[in-house]
Structure 1
Amino acid sequence: MKNGVVIVGAGHGGVQAAASLREEGYDGPVILLGEEAELPYHKPPLSKTFIKDAEAKPQPLRGEAFYTGNNIDLRAGTLVERIDLAARRLELAGGGALPFDRLVLATGSRPRALPLPGAGLAGVVSLRSLADARVIREVSGRVEDAVIIGGGFIGLEIAATLRAAGRNVTVVEATDRLLGRAVAPVLAAHVHRRLEAMGVQVLTGTTVARLDEEGGHVVAAVLASGKRLPAQLVVIGIGVVPNVELAQAAGLAVANGIKVDPRMRTSAEQILAVGDAVNYRHWFTGADVRLESVQNATDQARLAARTILGHEDTYAAVPWFWSDIGDMKLQMVGLALGGDRHVVTGDAAENRFSVYHYAGDRLIAIESVNRPGDHMLGRKMLGAGFSPAPGLAVAGPEALKAAFAEFQQGNPAAATG
């Protein structure tokens, strides 16, 4: 392949795709295009350690020597305007074209916009990039009041971080509970209580009508009820939108993400896609899903590289996620879609418990708070296809470990995650 593989997107998925191509023995050209003029970096710390420490620096995904040492042509600050499918080339912003033999789209997602009067004011930001995190860090260091619009993971991580730094923080969530798309009600209620105990004001079933300003800077969030919340910093975190525009304009199949098959191939055989922007039929649930996680992006990138090298593996990774909110480490494994009951183990009063989700008698997901052992065992069990009875989960980790060990002895070929 004289033109090699071009990867659009230098986040977790794109960088892993480049690394995996070399690890799998691909010796042709690898070109990695990133929109930001930065060395590719870890994004999860941006909502936590980065914004609370004025001296913190971004954490590179790989050192600069990795790219040069592996002959990966990293082109930061490069924007792709169009995919010319017939000619197998990319048209770049500012002119120029880049031919490819195979193309990997790792275009990720962007924060969902909020059509709100005042959304364009200084001091109003969504967290997508290092530049956004720098704004939040700089503004939060000199204000007293912050309002977070949206009760998802990113918003709550930021809320806890700002409150720990002494800011007055209010979370405004339009639905009736926090983390509505992400976790079970019992876990969401626990997070709600812990945040309030920290001093974060949490308003559910509430919307913001407008943002007020003075001199072009936000000074308050006005609720639909008319109540005015002082705010010199407003962070909007109401979910994300997959970046599918390039794919869609090129005629690729798109439906809540770029559609891919179990080998990460799009509807055009020479183009693959991975990460937040991808929609695929999940092997475990049988449902079409689009997952927004580092694990999903990197595992799909590894598989995409193998597909390019001619392997025929299909995607069968067990999904897992995490979030650090104040003194709560949340870890989730599996997908609770289709679950019809759950059991709770541990002690919420001690801020250490797990929720085991079942569909009938089949274990499909585990959500944990400060129980990393439950999470790691869950990854192994789900990966091996072991489904303990609900009563066994309630019996505790030792009983689960023993039952899983017995299962493995009887199924030596079972994967262990």
Structure 2
Amino acid sequence: MVDAHRTFVIVGGGLAGAKAAETLRAEGFRGRVILIGDERDHPYERPPLSKGYLSGTAGRDSVFVHDPGWYTAAGVELHLGQPAVRLDREAKAVELGDGTPIHYDALLLATGAEPRRLDVPGTGLAGVHHLRRLAHADRLRGTLAGLGRDNGHLVIAGGGRIGLEVAAAARTYGAEVTVIEPHPTPLHPVLGPELGAVLTDLHGEHGVRFRFGAGIAEIVGQDSQVLAVRTDDGDEHPAHAVLAAVGAAPRVALARSAGLELAEEPVGGIAVDASLRTGDPYVYAAGDVAAVHHPLFGARLRVEHWANALNGGPAAARAMLGREVVYDRVPYFFSDQYGVSMEYSGWAPPGSYDEVVVRGDPGRREFLAFWLNGGRVLAGLNMNVRDVTGPVQELIRSGREVDRERLADPSVPLASVAAG
């Protein structure tokens, strides 16, 4: 039975919000749990939108965090298709788009992020896509199928994780694909030039064309349809559809208007401490929007990946219940492209590392790579090597200097390297 004397409100209908609601009930909270989402769909996970669901290997129902009946059974009140438009911290209330105020005793902001737009002529054409929401994936999936049937061209602005995964999905439908990327390699800010070439070769083998060192200057169209893309170096590329995969911006409007502290750019997001609490003791943030002061790295990080939502939502829920929480998980993401699996753990932005150590054979796409600074592992990538995420993350957590030769030797168990 729900005890109506306490109300916990979650703003955000994604994975972080849904897992927070689940954790509140699992931890014994008997008060009201209200989840507010501005989409009409029940909370869902985002990785399938650029992976299995987009490529057609997974059904639409596979994306949802819980069966719709779970929310009723768990006593979680849903306000779907209703954005939260105002936060009154003094009154401890959230106002919905229809004017309804909802009181809270504790509030979790899991508002996520939204795709960045291209600031060039032609972005309003019907064939320009973004990929962040389930509705975006529904539309893009139909477009890719049509391009495949008609030998059509997809131009992707951005060679990051989403851009590459959509490129792989598009090729499974038979669409022609060109990726336009200002950096010299795909995923360059994460992998650097040392490993980006591996992904260039992988996609090249599957027929994807890259145009590095350029950006989109104009999307050319007629009668609202896309015809071509012009790059800032003067080239023109045929296109029947365009995907803008140029990153995402944290959705902070609600927090900003309420006077909550925001993290400085380029991190952005809502500033929270290691317990995911904002400067307001009754307001927390988790998932893509949360800029956490990370105890392990001694810096404020904002991580836009599935694992952060999966783990951050429950951590925030426990903090809301008064539990002692230190959110210090090693940042992590995974990607699947053409059957090649890749997992990345850690944080090694450009300029933070002085060496990359490789274990295995990148040419066979079966290897590990480690980004080091002063002999200490900052981040690690495993490609088509299974069950090593734990040891990789332990190397990062230990902060100890490693023996580079042992680290590079596949015959030496990673666990023994981590153990020193």
Q: TM-score, normalised by structure 1?
A: 0.93
Distance 1:46 1:217 in 2: 24
Aligned pairs for 1:186-225 (under 5 A) are 186-225=194-233
Q: Which residue of the partner structure matches residue 65 of structure 2?
A: 61
How large is the Cα RMSD of the aligned pairs?
1.8
* Deviation sequence 1:335-385 (CA, Å, 0-9, x none): 124322121011111111111122212222111211123334313444566
Aligned counterpart for 2:325 among listed residues 296, 299, 313: 313
Per-residue CA deviation, residues 264-323 of structure 1 (Å, 9 max, x unaligned), is: 110111100001111122112112211111111222222211111111221121221111
* Paired AA for residue 382 in structure 2: S
- The letter for the 1-side match of 2:327 is Y
Structure 1: segments with no counterpart, 5+ residues: 408-417
Structure 2 residue aligned with 1:282, among 294, 301, 317? 294
Partner residue, 1:339: 353
Q: 1:322 aligns with which of 311, 334, 340?
A: 334
Q: What's the offset of the Cα at 1:263?
A: 0.7
User: In percent, how many aligned pairs have the same letter?
Assistant: 34
Q: What's 1:414 paired with?
A: none
Q: Is the 8 A contact 1:206 1:223 kept in 2?
A: yes
Offset of residue 403 of structure 1: 4.8
Counterpart code for 1:214: Q
- Which digits, 9 at most, give the CA deviation of each residue in 1:83-114, with x for residues without a partner? 01111111111221111111000000011111
Matches within 5 A, 1:163-312: 163-255=171-263, 256-312=268-324
Matches for 1:325-404 after TM superposition, within 5 Å: 325-337=337-349, 338-382=352-396, 388-396=402-410, 398-404=412-418
Query: Any conservation in 2 of the 1:146–1:234 contact (CA below 8 Å)?
Result: yes
- Tell me if the contact between 1:54 and 1:137 (Cα under 8 Å) persists in the aligned partners: no
Quote the Cα distance in structure 1 between the aligned partners of 2:71 and 2:96: 22
Cα distance change on mapping 1:174 and 1:402 into 2, 3 Å: closer
Distance 1:55 1:253 in 2: 40
Greater shift, 276-285 or 391-400, is seen at: 391-400
Offset of 1:177 from its aligned partner?
A: 2.3
Post-superposition shift, 1:41? 1.4
Q: 1:184: Cα distance to partner?
A: 3.1
Cα distance, 1:191 vs. partner?
0.3
What's the offset of the Cα at 1:386?
Answer: 6.5
Helix, strand or coil: the match of 2:201? Answer: helix
Unaligned runs of 5+ in 2: none
Out of 286-295 and 58-67, give the one that drifted further: 58-67
Distance 1:239 1:340 in 2: 26
Q: What's 1:84 paired with?
A: 88
Q: Of residues 136, 146, 154 in structure 2, which corresponds to 1:142? A: 146
- Deviation of the 1:398 alpha carbon: 4.0
- After TM superposition, give the deviation of residue 180 of structure 1 in Å: 2.2
